[in-house]
Amino acid sequence: MAAVGARRSRLLIIGGAERRSTAILARFVELAGGPSGRIVVIAAASADPATLETEYVSAFTGLGAGTARALRLTTREVANDPATEGLLADATGVFLTGGDQLRMTTVFGATAADRRLRSLLAEGSVVLAGTSAGAAVLAGTMIVGGAGPGVTTAAVRTGPGLELLPGVLIDMHFAERGRLNRLLSAVALYPQELGLGIDEDTAILTDGDRFEVLGSGSVTVVDAGAATDIRVPADGPIALAGARVHVLPAGYTFELTGRRARTTDAPAGEQGRAT
């Protein structure tokens, strides 16, 4: 039941570098309530949280948010503090910055702050956004690294994420850093998960059991559900035959359960032209 509730939450998942264009951040401010919005910025993934906190607080207030403030989570003790819960409970928008996704999960995972954020998302009283590492942590199985050549087990490293959007693997800076091999490797290892590779200045906005693509780039979806053969040797190249790949720019949506892509102006139930 927790997974179903998480999937129905409103999440804005960004592939990174969204500050070069303000359209995605402006959409987040709008979703958080605009001039009545109360945004909390969490830079727990960053080794230099103060810099990112300042940049994003300034960006959100400049885009018309009612208030924006930082929530500095440096330890699990802080994440379990009732004052931290209170700050989150008052928020209409929460933004997770980039950095190191493992730093974020070890400080935040299973704390009182984590539980409060989940309850707020289930209630629909807050919109959650994450960029770069702050996007990767939202998956149940989190891509934490890997840059080896080819599609192999050595090309990707994974770990447990926060599972705020279950059933997916999320990779970011996707086209810009040539991460297709990494995502294919991850999907072969976890074929039950949909692979989502999100380009920079690009995002998905979840709405119920589907997402919409926003921004200037594309989202690459790798679906191993229809694969006819998957072979993952301990060493050497992986075999992944018959998997489906969709490359979706803005103007497309994707159904997470039905695993179908379509254009936003297509009638309900009509599959889009993506392949």
Q: Is 212 a catalytic residue?
A: no
Residue 117 tokens, joined: 């954020």
Q: Is 132 a catalytic residue?
A: yes
Q: Quote the DSSP letter at residue 165.
A: B
Q: Spell 124-154 as b/e; 16+ CB within 10 A means b.
A: eebbbbbbbbbbbbbbbbbbbebeeeebbbe
Residue 28 tokens, joined: 């987040």
Q: Is 218 a catalytic residue?
A: no
Given the residues 9, 46, 132, 218, select the one marked as catalytic.
132
Phi then psi for residue 261, to 5 deg, are -105, 145
Given the residues 9, 53, 85, 173, select the one marked as catalytic.
173
Active site (catalytic) residues: 132, 173, 200
